[in-house]
Amino acid sequence: MENTLLRQFFIPSLKLKYLIRILLITLTAYLFFSYLCIPFYIKGISMEPTYSNGEFNFCWRLRYLLSKPKRFDVVVVRFAGTRIMLLKRVIAFEGEEVKFYEGKLFINGQKLDEPYLRYPCHWNLPPRRVEKGCLYLIGDNRSMPIEDHYFGQTLKSRVIGSPLW
Amino acid sequence: MVRIKFLLMGGVVLGLSLTLLLIYPQGEEKKIKKQFHLFSELVSKDSEEDSFTLLKKAKQIGSLFDDPCELKMSDPPLSGSYSREEIISFAIRARSHFSQLALKFYDLNIGLFQEGMARVVLTSRLIGRSTSGEGIDEVRELECLLEKIEKKWLFNQVEVVEVLKK
């Protein structure tokens, strides 16, 4: 009896009920991992040390369904789709003025502490105002020259979620 | 009972086939995707090439563009209307600068908005190594307008979309 149950569990007979179950599981997994919880690999060092090159994570798309991104949230930004995405940190909102002086971040003239930063930064960026409907995003690794770091403001609608951890 | 089973299985197979048919690109969309695939193949190179191959590939790249074609990009700064000859010369210069190149396109969103015109928004990724050994890995969102001329979809306008604006 036990033997039969075990065999049935590991090598089930291809009954219609079993096939339908497999089909439903496959469909659910496909929809879940394609639209709700998208798996991705991190490529690049712009978010180090928070997220390192080669790490694996998921983009949780329901993160901002009922709320808006908060300052210092790490968000996932889409390009034309979700095959390649950006991982950045929100530092300013629409209407705010962003400036870097000697590596320190200033929002509306006020210096902001960024506890997640670990590497030295000496960036200088003249003040600029975040446009309507946009967020200002930046990576955590600011040890490289400012010209080599991909950051700036983007439309809120491009933010599609946040990393799961 | 067995007949019902077969009918149900037939229904599942039919449903899957219809889904595949809906997902799989049809007609013009398929042709447009083929043009992008061809563009990607022509740009990509694995090793150094002789001047004959370089010229041949550059001409083939040029033949994918309308004459003139409008380019809108900030880095490298290429904005304006360019003739096919100018695009061929850009292709020659770019290909001879790199020893390895791979251009890939992702997430092609194709919209046929009027007879013989298509708008494609996509993500492009260019990975390469220059002849001096410097590596590049650039991801950009592109918005392209393609026009159907003599049964061929040609690039009429290529614009680099600024996803993050400093």
Residues of A in contact with B163 (CB under 8 A): 77, 79, 86, 154, 158
B163 and A81 within 8 Å at the Cβ level: the answer is no
Closest listed residue to residue B35, CA positions, set B158, B151, B153? B153
Query: Quick one: pLDDT at residue A17?
Result: 87
Q: Give the amino acid at A155.
A: L
Q: Please state, rounded to an integer, the average pLDDT across all residues of chain B.
A: 89
CA–CA dist B140, B105 (Å, integer): 10
What distance in Å separates the CA atoms of residue B163 and residue A152, rounded to the nearest whole number?
Answer: 8
- For residue B25, the model assigns a pLDDT of 54
pLDDT at site B163:
96
Between chain A and chain B, the number of residue pairs with CB atoms below 8 A apart is: 58
Q: Would you say the ipTM is above 0.90?
A: no
DSSP code at position B44: -
Angle between helix B2-23 and A16-31 (nearest 10): 20
Average pLDDT over residues A128-152: 96
Q: Does B13 touch chain A if contact means CB atoms closer than 8 Å? A: no
pTM of the model: 0.85
B102 touches chain A (CB under 8 A): no
Q: pLDDT above 90 covers what percent of chain A?
A: 88
What per-residue confidence (pLDDT) applies to A11? 81
Alpha carbon separation from A50 to A28, A75, A89, A119 (Å, rounded): 31, 13, 10, 11
Strand-pair category, A97-101 with A125-129: antiparallel
State mean pLDDT over A131-141: 97
Q: Is B141 part of the contact surface with chain A (CB cutoff 8 Å)?
A: yes
Nearest CA among B67, B72, B154 for reference residue B116:
B154
The shortest CB-CB distance from A137 to any of B122, B142, B164 is to B164
Classify residue B36 by its DSSP letter.
Answer: H
Task: Using alpha carbons, select from A90, A92, A94, A48 the residue that is nearest to residue A73.
Answer: A90
When mean pLDDT is compared across A28-32, B77-81, B83-87, the lowest value belongs to: B77-81
Report the gap between the CA of A10 and the closest CA in chain B (Å). Answer: 23
How far apart, in whole angstroms, are the C-alpha atoms of residue B91 and residue B44?
A: 11
d(CA B154, CA B116): 10
Mapped onto helix, strand or coil, the DSSP state of residue A81 is coil
- Residues B18-35 have pLDDT tens digits of 666 665 556 899 999 999
Tell me which chain A residue has its CA closest to the CA of residue B121: A80
User: How many residues in chain A?
Assistant: 165
CB atoms within 10 A of CB B30: 11
Taking CA atoms, A92 is separated from A42, A153, B72, in Å, by 23, 9, 28
Please give the residue that has the higher pLDDT: either B3 or B147: B147
- Give the one of B107, B137, B163 whose C-beta lies nearest to A81's C-beta: B107
What was the pLDDT predicted at B125? 97
**Is there a contact between A84 and B109 if contact means CB atoms under 8 Å apart?**
no
* Res. A15: pLDDT tops 60: yes
Which residues are CB-contacts of B130 (< 8 A; sequence separation ≥ 6)? B97, B98, B99, B136
In chain A, which residue's Cα lies nearest the Cα of B125? Answer: A84
Confidence of residue A102 (pLDDT cuts 50, 70, 90): very high
**Do residues A77 and A154 touch, judged by C-beta distance below 8 A?**
yes
Residues in B closer than 8 angstroms to A79, CB to CB, are 106-107, 123, 139-141, 163
Residue B113 CA to residue B90 CA, distance in Å, equals 30
pLDDT at B24: 55
Residue A38, helix vs strand vs coil: strand
Residue B3 at interface with chain A, using a CB cutoff of 8 Å:
no
Cα A86 to Cα A26: distance, rounded to the nearest angstrom? 28
Q: What's the confidence (pLDDT) of residue B12?
A: 67
Give the residue carrying structure tokens 């200002």. Answer: A136
For chain B, percent of residues with pLDDT exceeding 70: 89
Compute φ and ψ for A112, nearest 5 degrees.
-110, 135
Which three-class secondary structure state does DSSP give residue B112?
A: strand
Query: Which pLDDT score is estimated for B78?
Result: 82
Task: Report the pLDDT value the prediction gives residue B76, as an integer from 0 to 100.
Answer: 76
Region A76-96: mean pLDDT is 97
**Per-residue model confidence as pLDDT tens digits over A51-82:** 999 999 999 999 999 999 999 999 999 999 99
| Nearest residue on chain B to A131, alpha-carbon basis | B165
Which chain B residues contact residue A45 at CB under 8 A?
Answer: none
pLDDT of B68 > 80? The answer is yes
B6 has a chain A CB within 8 A of its CB: no
